[in-house]
Amino acid sequence: MKLSAAVSTPDAKFSALALKGDFDEIFALVKRHGLHGAEIHVRDPRDVDAGQINELKHRHGLEIPAIGTGRAFGEDGLCFSDPDPAVRRAAVARIKSHADLAHALGSHIIIGLILGKNPRTPEIEKNAADCMRECADYAADRGVDLFVEPINRYETGFIITAHDCLSFFETVDRPNCKVLLDTFHMNIEEADICATIRMAGARIGHVHVADSNRWHPGAGHIDFEQILAALHEVNYAGFLSAEMFPNPDPETAIAGMAAHLRPMLERLR
């Protein structure tokens, strides 16, 4: 398992991004703390220069394990479960452009808030599954996976637990759909975090880490030693990507996360 942090441009409204600003400076800071990757949250791929991000990625020796797409919902209202077909079509078009960006950066895309806050009725599920299939097929042709994220009940209404996500996958039926587990949401919604990890097993594509208070791992009461052991047990070899508040300040959050998790990863070797 490798460490990463979720980052974005300064205008991002989502608050659980430890680093917002100039990607050259952010990538340098991430590298200085020994992380292997930077997950980038992009509102609209037209806002960013893929060639420049690729150049920064290579120059700083980092991977971009995933591209967050929630800003398209939070800031533009695009959503796979919207009753209005025009909104769903715009959401699919936006996610396809995220898939193009992911292809250019050797990355994958996160499907979280873009699923919307609507409750899971059969009609809503069908609309969302149709959008998912179209995006999954487009992404598969570009070697890109969709990391679908269960998000706690206060932020979403659609997929709240890993079980909800796996049952949605049965409807969507596309192999490049993987589960994204976020420890902050799991601490609210899952009865047993480690049992959920074992249940999701090989379907886990990406992991977000934050502590119970959404500060850096080590600042709350989540038992990361147990969680990392369970991920190791199911042979998860992807990223632990910190999606956390910049508290008490961005650099201390990154340093705190690395200081808490790195010794645990070493003990698993």
- For 31-52, b/e burial (b = at least 16 CB within 10 A) is bebebbbbbbbbbbbeebeeee
Binding window for Mn ion (CB under 5 A); candidates: 35-43, 77-85, 114-122, 242-250: 242-250
Two tokens, residue 110: 């996160």
User: What DSSP designation does 154 have?
Assistant: T
Cβ distance 171 to 204 under 8 Å?
no
Residue with token string 């003990």: 267
Sole binder of Mn ion in the list 208, 209, 211, 257 (CB under 5 A): 208
Binding mask 14-53 for ligand LER (x = CB under 6 A): x---------------------------------------
Residue 82's binding partner among ligand LER, Mn ion, none (Cβ under 5 to 8 angstroms by kind) is: none
Cβ distance 13 to 20 under 8 Å?
no
Binding of ligand LER by 63 (CB under 6 A): no
> Which of residues 8 and 269 has its CB atom nearest to ligand LER in the complex?
8
Binding mask 106-135 for ligand LER (x = CB under 6 A): ------xx----------------------
Binding window for Mn ion (CB under 5 A); candidates: 24-32, 58-66, 156-164, 178-186: 178-186
- Tell me the residue number closest to ligand LER, measured at CB: 112
Which residues lie across from 198 on neighbouring strands? none
Chain centroid to Cα 228, Å, comes to: 17
Q: Residue 28 CB: number of other CB atoms within 10 A?
A: 14
Q: Which 68-97 positions form the footprint of Mn ion (CB under 5 A)?
A: none
Residue at 90: amino acid letter: A
Catalytic residues: 149, 243
Phi and psi at 2, nearest 5°, equal: -125, 155
Binding mask 150-189 for ligand LER (x = CB under 6 A): -x---x--------------------------x-------
